[in-house]
Structure formats: C-alpha cells, structure tokens
Chains A and B, each alone.
Chain A
Amino acid sequence: MQKTDTGNPDYFHKVVDCQWACPAHTPVPEYIRLIAAGRYADAYMVNWESNVFPGILGRTCDRPCEPACRRGRVEEGGGAKPEPVAICRLKRVAADNKGDVRALMPKPAAKKNGKRIACVGAGPASLTVARDLAPLGYSVTVFDRDKRAGGMIWSQIPRFRLPLEVIDEEVGYILDLGVELKAGVEITSMKKLLAEGWDAIFVGSGAPRGRDLDIPGRKEAAAHIHIGIDWLSSVSFGHVSHIGKRVIVLGGGNTAMDCCRTSRRLGGEDVKVIVRSGFEEMKASPWEKEDAQHEGIPILNYLVPKAFTHENGRLTGVGFEKVKAVYDAKGRRSLVPTGEPEQHYECDDVLVAVGQENAFPWIERDCGIELDRHGLPVLDKATLRATLPNVFFGGDSAFGPKNIIWAVAHGHEAAVSIDKLLNGEDLRQRPAPQTSLVSQKMGIHEWSYHNEIALDRRFKVPWRDVNQTLKNIKVEVELGFDPATGFKEAERCLNCDVQTVFTGKLCIECDACADICPMDCISVTPNGEEAELRARLRAPANNKAQDLYVSEPLKTTRVLVKDEDVCLHCGLCAERCPTGAWDMQKFLLEMTHAGPGCRRPQKLAA
C-alpha cells in the first residue's frame, strides 16, 4: 500500500466518525470535552457555529452521528449491545446550562453592504442562510405564511418533545442579527418575487404536502380521516385539541410517531400504529419507537390497509391484508400477502402518516426554474443553485424531506454560494475546511486531554412520569441529563479527534506500541496489497469503511500499519514509544462558512 496522505483533510476527518457523519460537520469531541470541563457556554457556541440550533437539535436531531460513533464499535458485549455516546443529548446539556450567551453572539452588521436577499419560508434552512449572511452586511428578509418563524420545527414537532421557549430563544438569536421576518406573508408567485429585484433568492419552503391514502371508503369517512402533518400543524396552531378514544395511525415514520403520541394526549386512549413493513425496517428511529411504546402505544407490523369501513357516513375502522417480507436473490424485499383472512381494527379516527411530498404551486413553470419529473427543482448539488443564476434551494425543498440538520447544512452551503455569487466569484470553487493539528503532549505521561477510558455504559436520559406527561401536551417528556450525569456521559467520549500521528523516521521498530495497544490496532509488518494486508494484521481489519494508516518503509523495509477502526485514542502507543514516533495531536476541522474565508484570497492593494 502507498504511504497514507494525512495532509488530505479528509483523512483525519474520517477518523472523527461523528463529525464526519454530521451533515454540518459539528466538531463533536471538541464540545464534549468542553461539557466535561463545565464550560457549557463555550460548548454551546462550538455547536452554534456549526449547527445553529443546539438546544433544538439537542432534543430532536435525527443524530446521524450516533450510529457512526466509535464507542458503538468498541464497547464490550457483556450481554448488552455496545452503545454510542449520547452525543445529541449532550448538546442539550450544553444548551440547558449555558447561562446567558448573548454577549458571545455576533453583532448585527454595523454597515449594510447594499445587497438584498429574500428567503422563502422561515424553517431551519432559511434561518441558517440568514444567520450566515446578515452579520456580513446583507439585508436578509425571511417570508413565512405562518405567524411565527421556525418552520416545521414548531408547526410539526410536538411541544412535549420541544418546548416553544427553546425555539423562540434560538430563532431569536438569528432575528437579533438584524434579519427581517415577514411572518404571515405567503409568497404566491415566484415571477412576482423575481420581479422585485432581490440580489439572490433562497427557497426554503420545505416539503409541505402529506401523502394521502386512496383506498375504498376514503371519501365516505373523510370527516374522521386526517393527513398526519396537516393534523399536527393544526394541533400546533391550536385549531385542534381533541381526538376520538380509539385512534389508528397508519405509517411507520417520524410523523407517525408524533401523531400517535399527540393522540394519546388529546383524548386517544386506545391508540395503535399500524405499519406495512416489519418493525426493524420502519423509518422511525429506534428511540422514537421506544418512546411511543413507553406511552403504551402498540405497533402492529406487516399489515397493509385495504379499506376504510364506515356506517352512515361515519368511520368505523380499517381493514388490513396480512403480508410477509420475501427477499429475492439480490436481497430486495417485497411484501407478499400471506393469504390469511383480512383483519379489521375498529377506530374513531385515522391519522394518515404515509409520507411527505414537495409542492411548489407558487413557482410558475415558465419562470426559468426547472423542476424535474418528481416535482423537485433541478439543482447543482454542490452549490444548490437552480436553473436561474441567483436562485438557490435548501432543506426539504431541495431534495425532498430530510431533517433539521440537513436543512442547516444546506443553509450553510447556500450562504457560501450567495456570498461568492455577490462577490463575483466562481461558485464551484468551494472553500476547503479550516484544519489544525496540535500536539497534546504536556509531559512524559501527561496529555492535555483526559486519555483514561471510562468503562461506563450509556446513561439513559430520565423521563418525566408518564401519568404527568400524557395529561398535558405541553409538558416535555425528557428531562435531560443533570450536570453530573452529563459529565459522566461526556467521559464516555473517546476523543477521536486527538489523532495518533506517526513519524516514520523516528521509529526504531521496538514493538512497544503494538504490544501496549489494548485494541491490537498496530502492526509492524511487510507491506502488501490492501486486502491481503488487512487479513494478516495483529487483529484482522474487517471494517473496510475504516482506513488503514500506512507508514513509509521503515529501516527493516517493513511498514507500520494502524487500523483506525477500533482505536480508543488512549494515547498508550505514544506514551510507550521511546522516540516520540507516535504523538497524539488534536485535529480540529471547522467548515468554512460564508464570509471572507470562503472567497478567493484578496489581492492586497498596491
């Protein structure tokens, strides 16, 4: 194998599994260490820079970082399955304990730069664009047909998961930057908006249409069949405050989970979720299913709805066909009927939560913005630019429904595009992230990070008593970690950003590092092709998604190979190395956001 090029920022970035997996590339271990140090405000600001909504995301994020977390690969069985660090809920610890951070926030631009930006929709995507551009002097106006900002964060996510104060606070930090919010204003014509002469337009209007279920009885029983996302926003708006005693929720995604749990709080006593697929394949996250089941909501699988039954124009229930999963040679799944008789479940109300779609009734088809055959805008993936040069899309409106953290990541990218566009630059020349690599050595066995490995299992976030939470939809279910538990959970983090950095010319091939490594990551061995090398290391390197760190040939012509997969970043290799060939160095990667850093280096005036 070739010597590993650690100069490529991606190499060490990939080692920080959580940061690599985070769409906004939040420096996770950096903020977790700050939490462990009790520096909550600093931890909050590290988050705020990257993901804009730490308090909101600390309660609701889809947390793609957690399945990626190294801890989930290294913890010993001991009966229970290994579990990642509670990265998401640690964000909340920072948010809950940060105190007043207003002084740490950027100030509104002292001088406007004369450029006007319109954002359609006040969801997380638009708000991120606004946050990134307003301090630079852009005049940003955000339109939303709703009476408050937040988008689906407030209209869809129920209050028992995310209190209003948290939304208001974090949306407030953005509006305080001098962003103009036009709430209650619906944009009905793109042509008209284009004609208003904005320097750039960002569309962050979301994926607002819930799919319907066109099966017999739909029309006749319409009065008690509701589209999930419409019903949830009606609850948020205060238009709906009651539902029947027996409720069936159709669908297995996050909307279904919010629908069933909301129903339990609005009078539903016998609430069921009924899904076509198996339990494992459901789109909802494992913790969402757990939360629903904890509230006494059964989840029934492999049942395909066939008809709504009704009597005298009143819904009486839903008929289902039982199916099973069958896999073809390629491993593709299809659901085939088992042939068992149709099953019928009685109910008073049905919530249909079977998916969401994009809809742009307000974008005229001849305004220059092309939509593809799925009704999604034709975009340049890297720049998020539409087929009109100064129109950008992001969040759910760009590629269909995703989640908040993706909306934020798109917002950052779109802001970079807009900033470069309005500075006359090539949008496709994207800025590299800023990285630094700093030795953590303080003494022979002293490091500026805590390298002892905590053996604690993942701590559970405490829940408020079910009897209390089911009575009031506004009572938050999760209580969050207290600071002491937050500290312990933070100590589970392995500091994957503190990299093992190898200098071949110092190595005397004494084997000390290979001998001490608790995870058998290190081998000094003759070089070879990757596949063959992976098989004959001290421990087989079976996880191909994780790189091998290969040195230049050493004195004996052998190479030192480190499998990054299960390294604990304990630093024992560096402590045992007599020559300092191994060092522990902190790799900090920060995405370059809109602003001078994302532009070409300016020529100095002569």
Chain B
Amino acid sequence: MTYLAKPKLHHPTLPKNKLGYTRRDYEGKVSTLCAGCGHDSISAALIQAFWELDVEPHRVAKLSGIGCSSKTPDYFLGNSHGFNTVHGRMPSVLTGANLANRDLIYLGVSGDGDSASIGLGQFAHVMRRGVNMTYILENNGVYGLTKGQFSATADMGSKSKRGQVNTDSAVDTISLALIMGASFVARSFSGDKAQLVPLIKAAIAHQGAAFIDVISPCVAFNNHPGSTKSYDYIREHNEAVNRLDFWPSREAITIDYSEGGLIEVPQHDGSILKLRKLDADYDPRDRIVALEHVARAAEKGEVLTGLLYVHAEAQDLHAHLNTYAVPLNKLGEKELCPGAGVLEKINAALR
C-alpha cells in the first residue's frame, strides 16, 4: 500500500473512451492491500474492462463480502454504487438488489474464504438462480485478511507459510459453478491481464450468472514454495484452453480470423466472443465436456484457465420469475399501491 493518493497527472497520450473518460476516471481510492497483492491487479483489470466497454460508472453496483478481496471495490470505480456486505452473504444481497433494479450492472467481488468457506451455500444458490451478474472470486487459497489460514480452496497437500500441510480436500469453485447452473464460467490469473480483461468484458456482456475464478496470489501469506497459489506455481502449471477476444458488436470486429481453430459465440446483447482454441478438443459450449476437462486437468495438477463454459442463450432470474421490467425505484405510488380493489382480486384468486 501507500499513504499517498495517486497523483492526478497522467500520460499525455492517455486515450479517452466513447464517453470522454480516461482509464484514470475509473479508478477508486488508493488501495490499502499489501504491496504486490494479486487482488490489486484484478482491480486494475476491472478498471481496464469497464473503461473499454464505455460503461458509465454510475450504472455499476459493486457488492462484496468480507476479506482483502472484498475490500477491493473501494479501489476501483469510485463513482459506482457499492455495498460491502456480511461475510459470505454477498450473493443474497446482490440477488435482492438485482431483483429490485435490473437496470444496473451487477459486479460481485468475493474471496475464496468468503465464497467457498463461510459462503458456500450462498455461492451455490446465486448460481442456480441464474442472477444476471459478474461474480469475481479472487482466489488465493487463504484467509488473507485474518493472517493466512487455509481456506476451502487450498489444495490438499499444499503447505502453509509456516510449513503446515493442508489435509482437507479443496472445494473446486469452477466445477461447483458448472454443476449449479452458472451460464458463463471462466478461470484466469491475476498476473495475466491479456487473458483476464477480455474475460471480464465478456462476463459483463453475458446476460446471466457469469463466474470468473481468478487465481490471485497472496504475497503476504501464500506465495512461498509449497503453495499451489503462488506466482511461480501458477505460471508453471497454467494451461490455457483458449484465448478470448471480446467484440461489443459484429461491426466492431477488426481482426482477420481466417485461420482455423476458432469458435464464435454470439451473445444475447449482440456482442461476439471469438475464442482461439489452444486445446483442439476443447469446446466451451458443452458443459459436460467442460466438467470432465476440469476434473482431468486437476488430476494432472494443471490449472485450467480460459473461458471454460458459456451458454449463449442463458436466461436470468427475471426471466424465470417473469418479473416486471421497470425497477422498483422508478414505479410511482399508484403502481406500487394499486388499492384495496386489486388486493381483493388477488385474495379472491387465492381462495
């Protein structure tokens, strides 16, 4: 961390997006995390992604739980809505907010302790409900904020900083999200923004439950030999299945994709995902194949990254429940309190 606010000055050629904002306009307060924390890199990737998508910051709601990871929404998109909720309870607050106002872009930020230990139940349900959101899990295998205890995503056999061996088996949040019905599932690494930024953009564009598990080394408590979440370990074991290019629309595509090994996934909102295959057998449109691949890779000790599953025709919670399209805060008293007559009718229907 640093005590100084980042100086306002910026590079003279710093570009502006369609809204006239520079990337710097998407920053937040100065981070209080440890110097070198992977979470700060993820914040930088989020800043980049929202800037590139020309999203107005006030259209974003950031929700998080408790942990170093869950603190980060304070360090990006300073002009967005934010709610730092209770440990492991971000999913339910996010679900409620989304039901009340579907016009905002929902970003859930959580940690492996927050999501896989205390919050495992909430995690499963938000996925199965198909809440339209981007859920970022900043996965470092420890409870960083409380000084480095193993979390539920720590691999069996991995060592703590003090040399203690983890004897519990790990919760694999990717498989869990796939099983529970998330319609966009990806894994990435905080140290690889070239991979992470397009994934975040695609997840934001995705109209359903989008989940990205981002391995994010904890430099203070989990970056030593014996850890399976360190910078070195991830760099050695990272197996990317594909490289994603995100295009906001078909017209925007500027690269010639004539070479083979390409999968194209158009999304609901008109955006296009172009996936360059790195693993010839891998088709991220098949959930069963994805589950199998993830399991086999884990067996081999590989960390599979890239866009692992996407269901382009996904439906979200509002479609499931057939809710009213207008956000509650835009409805007037007349719509919200339609009077005794209407109540009478409803009651009659229930008799």
Is the beta-carbon distance between A453 and B36 smaller than 8 angstroms? no
| Interface residue A291 (Cβ < 8 Å from any Cβ of B) | no
- Known pairs A510-B231, A539-B14; A577 contacts B7 (CB<8 A): no
Partner of A576, one of B14, B35, B191, B193: B35
| Residue A76 lies at the interface, judged by CB distance under 8 Å to chain B | yes
12 further A-B pairs in the complex, CB-CB below 8 A; given A518-B8, A570-B4: A76-B10, A445-B4, A451-B4, A452-B4, A511-B44, A518-B6, A521-B11, A540-B13, A575-B35, A576-B1, A576-B40, A578-B36
A572 in complex: contacting residue of B2, B10, B41, B235, CB < 8 Å: B2
28 A-B residue pairs with Cβ-Cβ distance under 8 Å, sorted by A, are A73-B12, A74-B12, A445-B4, A451-B4, A452-B7, A453-B9, A508-B36, A509-B231, A510-B36, A510-B217, A512-B35, A512-B36, A512-B37, A512-B40, A515-B40, A516-B6, A518-B6, A518-B7, A518-B10, A519-B9, A519-B11, A540-B13, A555-B232, A575-B2, A576-B1, A576-B40, A577-B36, A578-B219
Give CA–CA (A508, B9) in the complex, Å: 27
Q: Is the CB of B231 within 8 A of A508?
A: yes
Q: How far is the CB of A158 from chain B (nearest CB, A)?
A: 39
Q: Mark A438-469, 1 if CB is under 8 A from B, else 0.
A: 00000001000001110100000000000000
Query: Which residues of A sit under 8 angstroms from B34, Cβ to Cβ?
Result: 578
B10 and A576 within 8 A (CB)? no
Structural contact, A453 and B7, CB atoms closer than 8 A: yes
Please name the 9 residue pairs, one residue from A and one from B, whose CB atoms are nearest each other, closest first.
A578-B36, A453-B7, A515-B44, A575-B2, A539-B11, A510-B36, A578-B35, A578-B219, A520-B11
> B1: which A residues are within 8 A, CB to CB?
445, 575-576
Interface contact A511-B191, CB-CB below 8 Å: yes
B7, B13, B14: the one contacting A542 at CB < 8 Å is: B13
**CB contact between B41 and one of A74, A511, A520, A556 (< 8 Å): that residue:** A511
CA distance in complex: A435, B13 (Å): 34
Q: How far apart are the CA atoms of A519 and B14 in the complex, in Å?
A: 9
Within 8 Å of chain A (Cβ to Cβ): is B3?
yes
Q: Does A566 contact B (CB under 8 A)?
A: yes
Evaluate contact between B2 and A516: CB separation under 8 angstroms.
Answer: yes
Give every chain B residue within 8 A of A521 (Cβ-Cβ): 11
Tell me if B38 counts as interface (CB < 8 A to partner A). Answer: yes
Q: Are B12 and A577 in contact (CB under 8 A)?
A: no
Say whether, besides A509-B191, A511-B191, A577 and B6 are in contact (CB < 8 Å).
no
Q: Which residues of B contact A74 (CB under 8 A)?
A: 9, 12
A residues near B231, Cβ cutoff 8 Å: 508-510
Residues of chain B having any CB pair with chain A under 8 Å? 1-4, 6-14, 24, 34-38, 40-41, 43-44, 190-191, 193, 217, 219, 223, 231-232, 235
Which listed residue (B13, B41, B217, B232) contacts A539, Cβ 8 A? B13
Complex CA distance for A305 and B52, rounded to whole angstroms: 59
Contact of B4 with A510 in the complex, beta carbons under 8 Å: no
Known: A512-B41, A572-B2, A578-B219. A566 touches B12 (CB 8 A): yes
Contacts of B193 in A (CB 8 A): 511
Secondary structure dominating the interface of A = loop
CB-contacts of A52-108 with B (<8 A): 73-76
Instruction: Closest B residue to A76 by CB, please name it.
Output: B9
Cβ B7 vs Cβ A576 within 8 A: no
By a CB distance below 8 angstroms, the chain A residues around B223 are: 508
* Smallest CB separation, B120 vs chain A (Å): 29
Is chain B's binding surface mostly helix, strand, loop or mixed?
loop
State the CA gap A556–B4 with chains docked (Å): 31
- Contacts across chains A and B counted by CB atoms under 8 Å: 98
Q: Is the CB of B2 within 8 A of A445?
A: yes
The verdict on A189 contacting chain B, using a C-beta distance below 8 Å, is: no
The reply on A423 being an interface residue by CB < 8 A is no
- Output the residue of B35, B41, B44 with the most chain A CB within 10 A: B35
The minimal Cβ–Cβ distance linking A579 to chain B, given in whole angstroms, is 7
CB of B213, distance to nearest CB on chain A (Å): 19
What distance in Å separates the Cβ of A512 from its nearest Cβ neighbour in chain B? 5
Q: Which residues of B contact A575 (CB under 8 A)?
A: 1-2, 4, 35
Bound complex: CA A539 to CA B35 (Å): 23
A354 is an interface residue with CB less than 8 A from chain B? no
Q: How far is the CA of A452 from the CA of B6 in the complex (A)?
A: 9
From A445, A519, A572, A578, residue with most partner B Cβ within 10 Å: A578
The docked-state distance in angstroms from the alpha carbon of A29 to that of B221 is 40
User: Do A510 and B10 touch across chains, with their CB atoms under 8 A apart?
Assistant: no
Q: A568 an interface residue at 8 Å Cβ cutoff?
A: yes
For B7, B34, B191, B231, the residue with the greatest tally of chain A CB atoms inside 10 Å of its CB is: B7
A566 to B7, CA, bound (A): 13
Q: Which residues of A contact B41 (CB under 8 A)?
A: 510-512, 515
Residue on A nearest B4 in the bound complex, by CB: A452
A510 close to B9 (CB less than 8 A) = no
Is B40 within 8 A of A568, CB to CB? Answer: no
- What are the residues of chain A within 8 A of B13 when measuring CB–CB? 539-540, 542
Given that A453-B7, A515-B41, A570-B4 are known contacts, is A510 also in contact with B191, CB under 8 Å in the complex? yes
* Distance to closest chain A CB from B68 (angstroms): 14
Measured in the bound complex, the distance between the Cα atoms of B40 and A453 in whole Å is 22
Which of A540, A570, A576, A577 has the most chain B CB within a 10 Å cutoff? A576
A66 CA to B110 CA, complexed, in Å: 50
Q: Name the residue of chain B whose CB is nearest to the CB of A451.
A: B4
Which residues 343-392 of A sit at the B interface, judged by CB distance below 8 A? none
| Residue in chain B with minimal CB distance to A453 | B7
A340 to B284, CA, bound (A): 77
Contact of A566 among B11, B35, B36 (CB under 8 A): B11
Which residue of B1, B9, B24 has the most chain A CB atoms within 10 A of its CB atom? B9
Contacts of A491-544 to chain B: CB distance below 8 A: 508-512, 515-516, 518-521, 539-540, 542
Write the nearest CB–CB distance from A447 to chain B, whole angstroms: 10
Assembly CA distance A73 to B11 (angstroms): 9
- Cα A598 to Cα B6 in complex, Å, equals 44
Are A510 and B38 touching (Cβ within 8 A)? yes
- Residues of the A chain whose Cβ atoms lie less than 8 Å from the Cβ of B8: 76, 453, 455, 518
Q: Point out which of B3, B11, B13, B38 has the most chain A C-beta atoms below 10 A from its C-beta.
A: B11
Which chain B residues lie closer than 8 Å to A577 at the CB level? 35-36
Provide the bound-state CA to CA distance between A508 and B232, in Å: 8
Output the least CB separation between A445 and chain B (Å): 5
- Residues in B with CB closer than 8 Å to A518 are 6-10, 24
Query: What's the minimum C-beta distance from B29 to chain A, rounded to whole angstroms?
Result: 13
On chain B, the residues within 8 Å of A555 by CB distance are: 232, 235
Q: Report Cα–Cα, A75/B4, bound state, in Å.
A: 19
With A510-B191, A516-B2, A578-B219 as known contacts, state yes or no: A570 contacts B7, CB within 8 Å. Answer: yes
Complex contacts, A566 vs chain B, CB 8 Å: 11-12
A459 to B30: give the CA distance in the assembly, Å. Answer: 29
Interface positions, chain A 206-243, Cβ under 8 Å from B, are none
Chain B residues with CB below 8 A from A455, complex form: 7-9
Given contacts A508-B231, A511-B44, contact A75 B9 (CB under 8 A): yes
Whether B235 pairs with A556 at a CB distance below 8 angstroms is yes
Q: Which A residues lie within 8 Å of B4 (CB)?
A: 445, 451-452, 570, 572, 575
Residues of A within 8 A of B43 (CB): 515
The CA-CA distance from A519 to B235 in the complex, in Å, is: 28
A516 contacts across to B, CB distance below 8 A: 2, 6, 40
Q: Which of B2, B34, B231, B232 has the most CB of A within 10 A?
A: B2
Chain A residues with Cβ below 8 Å from B38 are: 510
In the assembled complex, the CB of A117 is this many whole angstroms from the nearest CB of chain B, namely 50
- When distances are taken between beta carbons in the complex, the residues of chain B under 8 Å from A451 are 4
Task: Please name all residues of chain B whose beta carbon is closer than 8 Å to the beta carbon of A520 when the two chains form the complex.
Answer: 10-11, 14
Q: How far is the CB of A55 from chain B (nearest CB, A)?
A: 33
Q: Which residue of B lies closest to A514 (CB)?
A: B44
Q: Could you tell me the distance in whole angstroms from the C-beta of A491 to the nearest C-beta in chain B? A: 13
For residue B47, which residue of chain A has the nearest CB? A515
Q: Roughly how many angstroms separate A521 CA and B11 CA in the complex, as a whole number?
A: 8
The distance in angstroms between the C-alpha atoms of A572 and B3, with both chains bound, is: 10
Nearest neighbor of B36 in chain A, beta-carbon distance: A578
Q: With both chains docked as a complex, state the minimum distance between the C-beta of B214 and any C-beta of chain A, in angstroms.
A: 13
**Nearest CB of chain A from residue B224's CB, rounded to whole Å:** 12
B312 to chain A, nearest CB (A): 32
